[in-house]
Amino acid sequence: MSLREIITAQIAAQGPMRLDDYISMCLLHPEHGYYTTRTPFGTQGDFITAPEISQMFGELIGLSLAQAWLDQGAPAPFTLAELGPGRGTLMADALRAASRVAGFVDAAEITLLEASPALRQTQAETLHSCTPTWIDSIEDLPTQSTYLIANEFFDALPIRQFVRDGIRWRERQIGFQDGILTFGLGPAQPQPALTHRLDDTKDGDLIEDCAAAAPILSTVSSRIATHGGAALIFDYGDWRSVGDTLQAVQAHAPADPLTSPGQADLTAHVDFEALLNATAACSPSRVTPQGIFLERLGITQRATALAKTLSGPALESHIAAHRRLTHPQEMGNLFKTFGIVPKGAAMLPGLET
């Protein structure tokens, strides 16, 4: 049975499907899920992420975390964690750069939260020299000082969408009609969790809610508040959004999210307001454009140094990668970052104000 058949059978038996359930099945179905069955990143895959564009991204993140570790007294051992590590490229680049900081790599216990068995396998190959541990749930993070990275993790968490109807909300659901999966709207219902969105929306506006995001970040925050550490979160999105941001990408091109379940990557803009609200146990930085963060950490100097060893097409692609990561019209502005540290601790380099 294909994933499409599984989904249509479920709709036939139980009625229209919630969008978060549809996204979960598409991305993480044990047999047919998008992440479960493939390694989708890179020029050969469906999309490319910052660490796959250039080694500079992971290197600068590694150095920022290592400085935060020094600032907090170089605790040993400590957990170096990543949420949704993809191919493991970011972690490998971060560790290589941070190996210049005496004691950091030796004290680091690498812990990865990854739902996809196929990607766990790829991560094991990339990171074989540092013997990572995988966890299934954020609650399983070891209870010790924790330095954590998440790049394009929160945008992959399932969302629900609601259309405002007076002071109530109609949920966008997936049905099956004339042989195709289609969007429809459920009945108008009160949604107490969305009361704050009555302030910035009007009748007919569509908003999105990612219920899974806040509990994950609040667990990370309380771990860091209690045991020390820092977290650096990167994603695309903005401060609260109105409108449909669900996006399907297949072979580097936009696709319809309902046409080929399990074959396309599905993401949605991250609501940075909701994420920051979950960090109350710690001190968060400002939400900062990725380009500005990388420039503050010296990406241009690093790019110039690397360029000296390159020529021809390799040099051209290196220059293009620097531009892609930092330029406001590429990833520099759409992608944002913020950091969290325990209250009273020094903010991560690149995010001090």
Query: What does the binding site for ligand SAH look like in residue numbers (CB under 6 A)?
Result: 27, 35, 41, 49, 51-52, 84-86, 90, 113-116, 119, 151-153, 156-157
Nearer to ligand SAH, 64 or 151 (CB): 151
Q: Which amino acid is at 191?
A: Q
The least CB distance from residue 24 to ligand SAH, in Å, is 8
Residue with tokens 């667990």: 219
Give yes or no for a contact between 40 and 46, defined as CB atoms under 8 angstroms apart. Answer: yes
Q: What is the CA radius of gyration of the chain?
A: 21
Whole-angstrom distance, CA of residue 287 vs CA of residue 144: 26
Is residue 131 exposed (0-12), middle (13-18) or buried (19+ Cβ within 10 Å)? Answer: exposed
Listed residue (91, 95, 93) closest to 83, CA to CA? 91
Residues facing residue 340 across a β-bridge: 231, 284
Cβ within 8 Å of residue 1, ≥6 positions away: 9
CB of 151 to ligand SAH, least distance (A): 4
* Closer residue to ligand SAH in complex, CB, 115/181: 115
Say if residues 241 and 272 touch (Cβ distance below 8 Å): no
Q: Is the peptide bond before 190 cis (omega within 30 degrees of 0)?
A: no
**Residue with nearest beta carbon to ligand SAH:** 84
| Cβ-based nearer residue to ligand SAH, 345 or 348 | 348
Task: Specify the residue, 216 or 281, whose C-beta has the smaller distance to ligand SAH.
Answer: 216
Helices vs. strands in the chain: H and E counts, helices first: 14, 17
* Residue 90 vs 97, nearer CB to ligand SAH: 90
Residues sharing a CB contact under 8 Å with residue 294, sequence separation 6 or more, in sequence order: 56, 57, 60, 325, 326, 332, 350
- Token pair 């992420």: residue: 49
In the bound state with ligand SAH, the residue whose beta carbon lies nearer, of 92 and 206, is 92
- Residue closer to ligand SAH by CB (options 163, 210) is 210
Q: How far is the CB of 345 from ligand SAH (least distance, A)?
A: 25
